[in-house]
Structure 1
Amino acid sequence: MNAKEYLSQAIWLDQMIDSKLEQLATLKSLSMKVTTSFTQEKISGGSFEKSRMENTIVKVIDLEHEINADIDRLVELKKDIQETINKIDDLNYQLLLEMRYLCGKNWEEIALAMGYDRSTVFRIHGKAIKEVKKIKDATKCD
C-alpha cells in the first residue's frame, strides 16, 4: 500500500459508513411500513415462522452493529493517520494532509482555506505524500 492509499483509507471508510447510515435510514423507514398480520399463525412441530416485522428489526439491529464496528475502525484508523501526519516537520504539509484525509475536504476547500491556488495545493500535496512515504518506509524498517 502506498502513502496515498494509506491516507485515503479513512476517506473510503467514512464514505462507507455514510452509505450504511443511508441504508439504515431506509430500512427503518421501511420497517414503519411493515404491517403485522393479525391472523393466527400456525405453529407445528416447534417451528415458528418469524414475522416480517421481526425480520426487519433483526436486519436493523445487525446493520447498526456493523456501523458501530466500522466507526470504531475509523476512529482507530484516523488516530493512526494523525500520528503519522504529526511526524512531518512542515506544518503546511500537516495542515493539508489533515484537511484532505482526516476532514475529507475537497481541493477547492483546501486551496481557499490555505490561501493558495489549486496547482500550489497539488504541488504541496505531492511533497507531503513523499514525506508520508518516508515515514512509512522508516516504520517498516523498525
Structure 2
Amino acid sequence: MTPKEYFKQAYRLDKRIDSQVVKLGELRALAGCAQTISYEEKIGSPNRNTEAPFVKVLEKVYLLENHINEQIDKFVDLKYQMADAIETLPNVDLGLVLDYRYLQGMTWEKIAEVMNADVRTIYRWHTKALQLVQMPENPIII
C-alpha cells in the first residue's frame, strides 16, 4: 500500500460512516411509524410470530448502531496512526500539507490559502511529503 492510498482511507471511511448514519436515521424514523392494524381474523398457529412489527426494526437499529460505533473507533485509531506518521516528517510545512489534506479534509485551494502559498507549491510539498513519510509498521487497513 502506498502512502497516498493509506492516507485516503480516512476520507473513504468517514464517508462510509456518514452513509450509515443516514441509514440509521431512516431506520429510526421507520421504527417510530405507526404500523397498520389488520382486523382480519387470524388463524391461530403455534409458530406464528407474536412480536410487534417494529421489534425487528429496533433490532436492526441496535445492530447498525454497534457497527457504526466500531467504524468510528477504527476511524479514530486510523487518524491517530496517521498523525503519528505525519509527525515523523522533517519539515513542518510538509507535515501541515498532509495534516490539512488527509486529517482535516481541506481542499487544495483552502490549504494554499491557509499556508499562504501557491497551489502548485502545495502540490509539490504534497508529493515530497508522500515520498518522505514513514509508513507505520502495522498500518490500519479498511
TM range (shorter): 0.7 to 0.9
Q: Distance in 2 between matches of 1:110 and 1:49?
A: 58
Consecutive unaligned residues in structure 1, runs of 5 or more? none
Residues 9 and 37 (structure 1), Cα distance of their counterparts in 2 relative to 1, 3 Å cut = same
Alignment of 1:1-142 (within 5 A): 1-35=1-35, 37=37, 44-132=45-133, 135-136=134-135, 139=137
Distance in 2 between residues matched to 1:20 and 1:52, nearest whole Å: 22
Detail structure 1 runs of 4+ shifted over 3 Å in the superposition: 36-44
C-alpha displacement of 1:45: 2.8
Shift of 1:37: 3.6
Residues in 2 aligned to 1:36 and 1:26: alpha-carbon distance in whole angstroms: 18
**55-64 vs 44-53, which moves further:** 44-53
Q: Count the aligned residue pairs.
A: 137
Unaligned 5+ segments in structure 2 are: none
**Inter-partner Cα distance in structure 1 for 2:78 and 2:55:** 35
Question: What's the TM-score, normalizing by structure 2?
Answer: 0.84
C-alpha distance in structure 1 between counterparts of 2:61 and 2:36, whole Å? 17
1:32 to partner: Cα distance: 2.1
* The 10-residue stretch of structure 1 (65-74 or 40-49) with the greater mean CA deviation from structure 2: 40-49
Report % sequence identity.
34
Q: Provide closer, same or farther for how the CA distance between residues 50 and 3 of structure 1 changes in structure 2, counting only shifts above 3 A.
A: same
Normalised to the residue count of structure 1, the TM-score between the two structures is 0.84
Distance 1:54 1:86, change over 3 A: same
Cα 1:41–1:127 shift into 2, 3 Å: farther
Q: What residue identity is the alignment partner of 1:105? A: M
- TM-superposed deviation, 1:36: 5.9
Structure 1 or 2: more helix by fraction:
1
